[in-house]
Chain A
């Protein structure tokens, strides 16, 4: 693939990476968020601080971790602290600017489900569960969500709210008294959504190049709203694509195969 051609998945990762500011202290989830955060670090945000829940602070992995506790994360970190310190001192202590997470399902107010599909006691699908997300969603200064768009993932009603976004909207989150601002953007393989300032409902602000509003509607399980002036996302630059592909190539060599499968 020539550098100027790119996949929807690459567009998603590149745009998610752009949302991470240089110098930001970022609590990173495994999988897509980790890919995007490391791409940011390798491009415009060399001083972003990546913190993983297993304990590494300031990790600069040469290849993407397959699991949240890979040795590579520890070896390239400024420090490795016990997991309770990550949650108690760094996250709860208010030192995390950005929580970068993925999800199995999301609703229009950016609440996320990673617990069960169906009834909790007798689920049709048992998902892995909360991990660090509920407290990241509560206490990180703000939250970025990256996930692929589909009607199974973007649903009218969640069977389970694992981690709170904007709850029922219209300022409901603020009334809960959570320290963090909650989700500020959802980056998918088709679009970028941001919560509306007053209703807090996810609103498409950008379509990726070549994507229509109709496609986004078809891939969303509720009647999705669009901003008045929907912009086109800037396509990935050659620099961004080369950095991403080099990272994924190094990762493939290091792990053998099945690159980029999240935990």
Chain B
């Protein structure tokens, strides 16, 4: 079964349901912002969110009321500071309570690998001495049957839907990505369904041997969304919009400021290209 090449709206309508567990991955690079916006636009609810680094993209989803639970290992605005919407949810329960299941990077990365492998759990040498053990009962230990060593385990990550952004797809829906890869490949292969947004669709990927290519038949949908990782970056296409990450600190600091931004840029826009238009036009008061 080849991936469908479809619009992002159709892909989210088809493959994401209220109550699903979803993983939007991208380690600073290739963060699928357009897809995150579409989730908010379609007002999905009660989602369990998985992401190693829930940065601005999950701050938006959490503030917009899409999430009931978060599995993560580092939640901040990289290079800037706190995520105010995440903190408001954790510290004050706004816009609703947010359950946390907290890991380390090694734990979540291994959890995705195990999910992709079809195994129920991952084994790692980790967490010893950390209070994460006291607050996340899903981190457990197992004794190695060969050496007797006590090793940590985490459950495998098995999202209903994984979403990533990549540089290119071909017309069959094979996807090529390069640069910092994070856990994108593992997230896609751990998920029941997957959507990949890409910068462009080309006749020939011209992929070198050993390139990171996700085969079309392992994906559910491929959507051409140029700029779909902005304000993060797409290696070879555009740079990270560091100014926006700094601006987000102010936009998201108050509930009112956040809601106004989400309304103007996401709820009141049709799709990602109309978001980009709204984003370029300064709003009243000059904050875009």
Contact = CB atoms under 8 A, between A and B. Distances in A.
A164 B27 CA distance: 25
Interface stretch (B67-75, B162-170, B280-288): B67-75
Interface stretch (B3-11, B37-45, B120-128, B250-258): B120-128
A56 B180 contact: yes
B269 interface: no
Contacts of A171: none
Contact of A255 (B105, B128, B242): B242
Nearest to B182: A83
A54 B182 contact: yes
B235 A130 contact: no
A160 B181 contact: no
Most buried by B among A81, A125, A176, A263: A263
Categorize the interface residue count of chain A: 35 or more
A117 to B, nearest CB: 11
A82 B243 CA distance: 27
Task: Classify chain B: how many residues form its interface, as a range.
Answer: 35 or more
Give the top 4 A-B pairs by smallest Cβ distance, nearest first: A69-B28, A164-B129, A128-B76, A67-B78
Interface stretch (A3-11, A133-141, A148-156): A133-141
A54 B29 contact: yes
A179 B151 CA distance: 12
A164 B128 contact: yes
17 contacts: A70-B240, A71-B239, A74-B29, A80-B181, A83-B181, A84-B113, A88-B109, A91-B106, A131-B105, A132-B105, A133-B104, A138-B125, A161-B130, A162-B130, A164-B128, A256-B243, A263-B77
Interface in B151-168: none
A71 B104 CA distance: 23
A126 interface: yes
A67 B125 contact: no
A129 B110 CA distance: 17
B260 interface: no
A111 B242 CA distance: 32
Given A30-B78, A53-B105, A132-B106, A126 B73 contact: no
B203 interface: no
Interface of B: 27-29, 52-53, 72-82, 86-87, 90-91, 102-106, 109-110, 112-113, 124-132, 134-135, 150, 179-183, 185-186, 212, 233, 235, 239-240, 242-243, 246
Contacts of A164: 128-130
Interface string A63-90: 0001111110110000011111011100
Contact of B125 (A82, A84, A139): A139
Interface of A: 30, 53-56, 66-71, 73-74, 80-84, 86-88, 91-92, 111, 115, 120, 122-126, 128-135, 137-139, 160-164, 167, 173, 176-179, 255-256, 258, 261-263
A247 to B, nearest CB: 16
A73 B235 CA distance: 11
B73 A131 contact: yes
B165 to A, nearest CB: 13
